[in-house]
Amino acid sequence: MFATSKGTELDRHNVLRAFRRVAKAAGLNAREWTPRELRHSFVSLLSDNGVKIEDIADLCGHSGTTVTERVYRHQLRPVLLTGAVAMDDIFGAGENA
C-alpha cells in the first residue's frame, strides 16, 4: 500500500488529482487526460513505431500477449496489419493463379 504525504491511503482519487496537476503543468487539458489515456497513448506510439507485441506486453507488465491484445486491440492495429500484409506478401495474395 502507498500513502499520501499526509499518511492517508493513496487511492485512485489521490492519483488522479496528482496526475491532473502534472497534466496541467504540461499544458494539457487536465480534464481530458487520465493515466489510462496516457497508457493507451504509450501503447499506440510503441505499436506505430514497430515495437513487437511481445515487447509491448513486457513493458506493460503483462505476463504474455493475450491481455495486451485484448485490452489494446485498437492501439495494436498497425502491428496486426503489418502481420497481415507480410502474410499477403508471403502467399502472394491478390495475384492471379
Provide the residue range defining the domain that includes 53: 34-97
pLDDT digits 0-9 by tens, 69-86: 888 877 776 666 667 777
User: In b/e form, how buried is each residue of 59-81, taking b as 16+ CB within 10 angstroms?
Assistant: ebebeebeebbeebeebbeebee
Residue 45, CA distances (Å) to 50, 64, 80, 85 in order:
9, 19, 14, 20
What is the reported pLDDT for 18?
Answer: 87
Do 64 and 26 belong to one domain? no
Residue-level pLDDT, tens digit, the chain, 97 residues: 577 788 888 888 888 888 899 999 999 898 888 888 888 888 888 888 888 889 999 999 999 999 888 888 777 766 666 677 777 888 876 555 4
Do 53 and 97 belong to one domain? yes
What is the reported pLDDT for 62?
Answer: 92
State the total domains in the chain. Answer: 2
Angle between helices 12-25 and 35-48 (to 10 degrees): 60
pTM of the model: 0.60
Do 23 and 66 belong to one domain? no
